[in-house]
Structure 1
Amino acid sequence: MSFLAASSAPTPLYATYATEWHFSSITTTVVFGVYAIAVLASLLVFGRISDHIGRRPVLLAALGLQTAALVVLVTAGGVEALLLGRILQGLSTGGALGALGAAMLDIDRHRGALANSAAPGVGTGTGALVSGLLVQYAPAPTHLVYVLLIGVFVIQGVAVIRMPETVSRKPGARAALVPELAAPPGVRGAVLVAAPMLFATWALAGFHGSLGPALARQLSGSDSTVTAGLGLFLVAATGALSAVAFGRISPRAGMLLGGLLLAVASLATLAAIDEESTLGFFGSTFIAGVGFGAGTQGAIRTVVTRATPAERAGVMSVLFVVCYLGMGVPSVVAGVLVVHGGGLLTAARAYTVFVLVLVVAAMLGLLLTNRSARSGGSSKADHATCGHPAPASAAAGSPTAEARRAN
């Protein structure tokens, strides 16, 4: 939660930075994009290392680097420092995500899967809203939120030192640093099912993190930083709550429900932009948040419940790579459209249509995958790939399974 809160804390400040340092909307999306790229690079290089050296060393290193990034942001005097701070934030967050996700699964697989779905949304939403409130009403608007976060990370560093390690060291750490974007054989089918939905849901989060603040200000006619951060908060907060609320339905049902709600939200967002309706925009944002939570938790549960303890950090890293590709790439393209493609409203429409197409494609793929599995006489393990766990009698090595293989 704190890592993702730190990542969203600069969002309400972008307008302030743009005014002070005289940069355009494309610079804002570049700053947003370099963070996502840094997260991706870190996930690829450091995503599996905690499976070999332990969770604690990776988390302590990530906390130290995050603190250094916040120091850079506190003292930033221009775009270059802002970019450096965001890159350092991305590297530290990417290094932490795989280890944190795996550690929660080590402790409790079911609740850990739900926490992996809900915690990023809670952190992202809280960071954006609290930052907006501090910028609007507290002194030192470009400093205070970062100073408070530094205090949080120092306290958490002490807590991590005292935290029991959840995995044993094993050889292969050096090989694990070689970038590799591959899922273990036992979860590849599940990743292929879940990846399109994760990409679509996080592309929507990228919309509210990049274009959302400026769009909310333009539609409402307000310069409030709270208004600017409200859209991202709504998506993240409602996403976190819905991830928990829908945690008991099947993962496949969660993805289908999430996709349906995201499609409705995209259409509502287009209508709100055309009508220049502030209420319509935030209403569609609320629906999008529920869809984000339902779709994300369904996709993550589809995959992580099939990973072994030794694979968890690597599997979580693969999933977060998909998420941050969805968040980062469309946002950078949208920034180019704002400057060279007709302005903010045109870019927002194009982005929303893109998300709608992604969601429809993800749902069609999910339905076709399930239909193909049924018509092909697939095994129960194949159906588990689509989110339906195979019963214990079908487990490898059981008498029933051995008899079936013999037959």
Structure 2
Amino acid sequence: MEMKNGKYGYDPLDPNGNITIRWDLRQQNDGTQDVIVSIYNHQLYRHVEPPGWKLSWKWSGKEVIWDMRGAEATEQGNCSEYFGKSQLPHSCEREPVIVDLLPGTPYNMQVQNCCKAGVLSSFSQDPGNSMAAFQMNIGTIETMPYDFKIGLSGYTCGNATKVPPTKFVSDNGRRQTQALGTWNITCTYSPFLASSAPKCCVSLSAFYSKNIVPCPTCSCGCRGDPGSNCVRRDQPPPVLQLPRNAQSLPMVQCSQHMCPIRVHWHVKLSYKQYWRVKITINNLNVAKNYSQWNLVVLHPNLQSLTQVFSFYYKPLNQYGSINDSGVFYGIEHYNDMLLQSGDGGNVQTEMLLHKDPGIFTFKEGWAFPRRVIFNGDECVMPSPYDYPALPNRGRVFRPSMLCLVIFMLLLASIL
């Protein structure tokens, strides 16, 4: 089953999640075609972080890109064949790599939904910013390009599939036009392809136990491993050169778990009909802020979540009446930016849950989450055998009675 999940990118918490590339042929002139390419992030909680998407494909023939709006090819390539023409093509590469333009691009270079530096929000957090688009004028193509790639770790794209043509609305909705042809390319995510090393871990505590269960040792790596980078808390971080490769190991605070993100779940209070949980997310990465972060939690009592403080919350609700998972994320301009390691490198919330009769209990670790996912990455949980346990009153009582009996015997022997 794991091999199947790794190949096809199935996620039980987001079974329909994917990134869809839509290729719309809008117009065909003498020797050229006008194409609109749209990128939709249909994933509920996994977003595209900087440096953003890099879309590429392979041409079947000798096609070139004459002009672009809303994006650009990273390489122009060898366009010597067109020397002497009034304008050289934008790109003559057989396998062009397309990147989004930056915010603030001149208006004459923009199209709708462009110019976000390749960043796409998750669909549940900000649907309006979960898509991108650009326009191209290309040499006439006989067949669709192939071997599409989105340029993001863990994603695999399928073949272009012809679908019903897209309809475009104009004149305030009074007129509709449609594409001459539309093709979809679906890209799915697999954590097995993305990275072999976890990127976050979970620690636990509860009001009824004095023990704080830390993140498991070496959750994300071990100190001293080749390539590991960490800074001791009593030392200022060195001058850092930010890596250009997004897959480079992060510079983190030295710890026994070596994770850039630690999520702490604290069972804070118990009332007659409710119980209260505090969640703290610590950024231990000394060189990275996390913008538009999100946290997915799987717990059976989320179906009776009454109130959340300081975070937004949306249930995932992917299986009918089952409501045991949801996504937490920050409030815009308040705590939607998780700052790098330091005094401000944490965000926290508290939530109030109703004690559902018949299922609620503090026994056997029931109050702790089943799964925790930060920014789409599964967090390493402590072993259930290490969870904070309820006090065993029997064990506490018996030793005290034994001490009392021994004391009485000693007293009797003295007298």
TM range (shorter): under 0.3
Q: Which protein has the bigger strand share?
A: 2
Q: Which has the larger radius of gyration?
A: 2
Taking structure 2 as the reference length, the TM-score comes to 0.25
- Higher RCO structure, 1 or 2 (CA under 8 Å, sep 6+): 1
Higher helix share: 1
